[in-house]
Chains A and B, each alone.
Chain A
Amino acid sequence: MENKIFTEPVLKNTESLGFFEMIQPPEDISEHGHLIDYLFNYTTVMNIFFFFLVCIGIFGFSYLYHRKRHPKPYYTYGNKKTHITVATVIGIAVFLGIDLNITRLSNNDYTGIFINWPDESKEDVVKVQVLAQQWAWNFRQAGADGIFNTQDDVVTLNDLRVPAGKKVVFQILSKDVIHSLYFPNARRKTDAIPGRMTRMWIQFNKPGNYDIACAEMCGTYHYRMAAKLTVYEEEDFNHWLAEAHQIYNSVNDPEDPNIYWGWKWNSTSSNKKLGMN
Chain B
Amino acid sequence: MAFYEQHIHPKPTTFLSKYVFSFDHKVIAKQFLWYGIFFLLVGGLMALMIRWTLAYPGQPFPVIGHFLFPTSNGAVPPDTYAMLFTMHGTIMIFYAITPILIGAFGNFCIPLMLGARDMAFPLLNMLSYHVAVISGALLLGSLFVPLGAAAGGWTSYPTLSTLIGSPGVGQTLWTLAIFVLGVSSTMGAVNYITTIITLRAPGMGYFDMPLTVWGLGLTAILNAIFLPVLGAGCLLLIFDRVFGTTFFLAGAAATTGTGDPVLFQHVFWIFGHPEVYILILPAWGIVSDLLSFFARKPAFGAKATALSMTSITILSTLVYGHHMFTTQMSPLLTQTFMTLTMTISIPSAIFFANWLGTIWKGSIRFHSPMLFSLGVVFVFGLGGLTGLYLGTVTTDLYLHDTYFVVGHFHYTMAASVLLGGFAGTYFWMPKMFGTIMNEFWAKIHFWITMLGLNGVFFAMMLVGYGGMHRRIFNPFIYEFTQKLIPLNTFATWSAIVMGFAQIIFVVNFVHAVFFKKEKASDNPWEVGTLEWTIPSPAPHYNFKEIPVVKCGPHELGNPNLSNGRDYQYQTEELA
Contact = CB atoms under 8 A, between A and B. Distances in A.
A28 to B, nearest CB: 10
A110 interface: yes
B160 A25 contact: no
Contacts of A184: 467, 478, 480
Contacts of B335: 107, 110-111
A196 B345 contact: no
B198 interface: no
A110 B400 contact: no
Given A11-B476, A78-B357, A178-B159, A51 B389 contact: no
Given A58-B374, A65-B362, A75-B558, A12 B478 contact: no
B484 interface: yes
A188 B398 contact: yes
Contact of B300 (A39, A77, A276): A77
Interface string B467-481: 101111111111110
A215 interface: yes
B394 A84 contact: no
B401 A65 contact: no
A57 B377 CA distance: 10
A102 B388 contact: yes
Interface string B321-346: 00000111111101100110011011
B423 to A, nearest CB: 15
B345 A87 contact: no
Interface stretch (A91-99, A136-144, A159-167, A244-252): A91-99
Nearest to B165: A177
B392 A43 contact: yes
B179 to A, nearest CB: 21
Interface stretch (A118-126, A217-225, A231-239, A262-270): A217-225
Interface string A1-19: 1111111110110100100
Contact of A99 (B345, B393, B478): B345
Contacts of B353: 86-87, 90-91
B352 interface: yes
B164 interface: yes
B482 A14 contact: yes
Contact of A14 (B327, B361, B364, B485): B485
A187 interface: yes
Contacts of B260: 195-196
Contacts of A276: 330
B31 interface: no
A115 B329 CA distance: 11
Contacts, number: 359
B397 A84 contact: no
B478 A23 contact: no
Nearest to A23: B462
11 contacts: A17-B483, A22-B487, A58-B356, A62-B364, A79-B303, A93-B349, A99-B345, A106-B338, A182-B401, A193-B327, A217-B82
A77 B299 CA distance: 6
B297 A73 contact: yes
Contacts of A35: 394
A277 B324 CA distance: 14
Contact of B381 (A51, A196, A223, A277): A51
B483 to A, nearest CB: 5
Contacts of A107: 335, 338, 393
Contacts of B378: 54-55, 58
Say which size band chain B's interface belongs to. 35 or more
Interface in A54-110: 54-55, 57-58, 61-62, 65-67, 70-79, 83-84, 86-88, 90-95, 98-100, 102-103, 105-107, 109-110
B262 A40 contact: no
Interface of A: 1-9, 11-12, 14, 17, 21-26, 35-36, 39-40, 43, 47, 50-51, 54-55, 57-58, 61-62, 65-67, 70-79, 83-84, 86-88, 90-95, 98-100, 102-103, 105-107, 109-111, 114-115, 134, 173-178, 180, 182, 184-185, 187-191, 193-196, 198-199, 210-211, 213-224, 226, 275-277
B17 interface: no
A177 B349 contact: no
Contacts of B203: none
B539 interface: no
The list of the 10 closest CB pairs from A to B, nearest first, reads: A194-B251, A195-B250, A6-B58, A78-B300, A223-B472, A74-B361, A57-B356, A106-B392, A73-B557, A184-B467
Nearest to A70: B363
A61 B360 contact: yes
Nearest to A40: B395
Contacts of B343: 95, 99
Contacts of B8: none
Contacts of B394: 35-36, 39, 105-106, 109-110, 114
Interface string B540-564: 0000000000000000111100000
Nearest to A74: B361
A213 B471 CA distance: 12
Given A12-B482, A23-B462, A99-B388, A221 B363 contact: no
Given A8-B477, A12-B482, A215 B402 contact: yes
A217 B363 contact: no
Given A3-B60, A106-B395, A220-B82, A76 B356 contact: no
A90 B352 CA distance: 9
Contacts of B228: none
B466 interface: yes
B459 to A, nearest CB: 9
Given A91-B346, A91-B347, A176-B252, 20 more contacts: A11-B476, A55-B381, A57-B359, A61-B360, A66-B366, A73-B362, A76-B298, A77-B301, A78-B299, A78-B358, A87-B301, A178-B261, A193-B250, A193-B261, A194-B159, A195-B260, A213-B469, A216-B157, A217-B160, A223-B475
